[in-house]
Structure 1
Amino acid sequence: MEQWKKNLAVLWIGQFLVMGGMTMIMPFMSLYLQSPRIGMTNEHEIATWAGIIFAGNFVTSFLFQPLWGKLSDKYGRKMMLLRSGFGMAVVMVLMGFATSPWHLLLLRMVNGTISGFNPAAVSLVSITTPKPKMGFAMGTLQSGGIAGTIMGPFLGGLLADAVGYRPIFYLTGVSLFAASTLAYFVVKETFDRSAAAAKPQLSVIAGFRQLSGVPQLMALFAVTFLLQFAMIGPNPLMPLYVQKLHGTSVNLAFWAGFVSSAAGITNMVAAPLLGRLSDRIGQERVLGISLVGAALLFIPQAFAGTVWQLLLFRLLQGCFLGGLIPSVNALVRRFTPDGMEGRAFSLNTSMLALGNMIGPIVGGLISGWTGIGGVFLISAVLFLVNALWVRQTLVSRQARKPDAV
């Protein structure tokens, strides 16, 4: 097997385990706070702490990703990958020993600080994959993360009932350690540290200024932010929307979970296929079509009359969403000056974390004024505006990759 295929296969497993591990603990976080060892009892305090603990990871991730991106360009992507993987494995095990909500919050913030497996994996795959296979590789890698995101909550719920809450943290830590160890022995990267060290060492801010001068990258970062913003924003409200459409409490939790994960299911299937298609017809074209298609499918979700209609629209939308992140990652690689790939992908991950933070807050505020239907409609408008921006910067200008620095 060619080395780039080995890298892709191992990092797919890593993406699956990392995203699965991160989402596995979320279904029972509020219940974990009520466990005897932590012992919280006030329902309002539990809900407040659960939200703060969930957000803590994204706050520090948003702040520290650019730093890891700089170090990635200086010392290599594989080193940053292993730093993140082994570090998160230790943090996840320590969460199993927490005795107060403050412990969990601190550890979640530490986890966000040292995270970076995803941008390092994407950057590493982008560097080692032949250009004609870039779309396929990015789509395949994306499917691993989506699969983990879908399966994580499901497996977390099953394991919580079977073995309790604390062992899940230990199992997740062991899984992350195993994935990082596999990457250590199998993943290969050609990286010349002496050449990287000889280049001018820009600060994080100076690096951001240089990348922000590339209009194509700004448009692509906006796609990443809006994707998370639009998909995460309605999620906390989805059970209420499903309850309104379902009209009964029978199997309500099942339907709420199914509807919430529906777009992820088709996204996982479509991502490698659209990635392969983008290698033939161009990532810009697939990205533009996917943005418009996803935007249009937000609209009927706002006016769905039954759960089945909502489910159908979410499934169809996932097909278009599968063309977004792989195309963005491939285009980020194309338009990033040589030697700054780590910074670019880390900034892209910061935009993802920002969407995770702001989406639920803004979604809740908008729904208070317009109902959840308004959240879908505003997301549609934002996606269409972004599609025009992408067309202007990537397609109309027929932009070329900037000169290497």
Structure 2
Amino acid sequence: MRAEARYRDGDGIIRKVTATAATDHAARQALRNRIKQRSTATGFGAALSPESTVTQLAEAWLEDMQIRLDLAPGTKDTYRRELNSLVLPTFRAFLLREVTVGRVDQFLKRQATISYARAKHSRVVLSLMFGYALRHDAIHRNPVIGTSRLRQPKRAPRALTLDQLERVRHAAATWRTGEHVLGRRPDGQVKDLIEVMVGTSDRIGEALALRACDIDDTVTPMRVTVSGTIVVIKGTGVYRQDYPKTSSSRRTLEVPVFTAEVLRARLALIPGDEPDMLLFRTRHDTPLAPYNVRRTLRSMLAAAGLQDLKVTPHTFRRTAGTVIARATDVKTAADVLGNSPDIAQKHYIEPEQPVPNPVPARHLQALAPRSPESDGQQSETEEP
């Protein structure tokens, strides 16, 4: 049997498509499959429709994302990871037409009960993915756009006091140094890394990406150039990316004396003339993974009973930004951090507690209650 149809191809031209099979039903099915193959061949996402599943959309979106040149490999890996861990567990079996504004809104609200960050990342991935479906005519509107606004909890940035910083330093210096410690002794890299992050305000990835050629010890104060970051990509591993997180993150900083001393000690450990050698590295001269550094820092703090401080590598960045802002201004701190003043103020600079103004209290004293003696004197002078 033979089945045929006139089909408009992706180039807009109508062509006849035919298929043959033993029965009429089989011929019609073969014709449908052939038309589907022709639509798939016109490009990424061309076969998507309201009847496609979210899983099919996810596959097409990820494939398209891999060929985009405007996204860093780390960003692509983050989107893939968050899609699989946050979005697909809920939406993988839904058809695109079933993913409504209300359904997405309820999903994001449930995510927000866990954490604001989880809801925010889920929203970003869903919006990008359904924006892709919209551009390929698989849906008529992006269901994420009509959802409720996410409200970020107000949390002021928290910096360490000098006393707290000294306690963290002591914990790092004494971690696993006792007489009865089993296993390999610490190599001191995390202890040194703390001084570098405090003295440069670097993100952890930026500090781990510092090379010998990024240090200029021919001037005083020593200068450090932030020119890259450490990223972890599934299937690729840990490697140095030759540019930092943003364009404003590329900067040259003058560092304090205590940081310069640590950097000189790290430089002295580099064998021969190897300008591209990382200052912080594994025994195999490969980059240290930020995750492993964070884990070691947590172990140091736990061993010293400092878990309540809730110190992360970003805490050192906030501490540096806060000190600079209070000594100078927000604009200077933002330049050192490699952020805009608004971002620096919102995320990195701890608000300073204002000194109370004594003048209002003096004026309010006029509202003090009268004593019995003053009431009696007042009554004696009143007119009958």
| TM superposition score normalised by structure 1 | 0.22
**Structure with bigger RCO (C-alpha 8 Å, 6+ apart):** 1
Q: Which has the larger radius of gyration?
A: 2
| TM superposition score normalised by structure 2 | 0.22
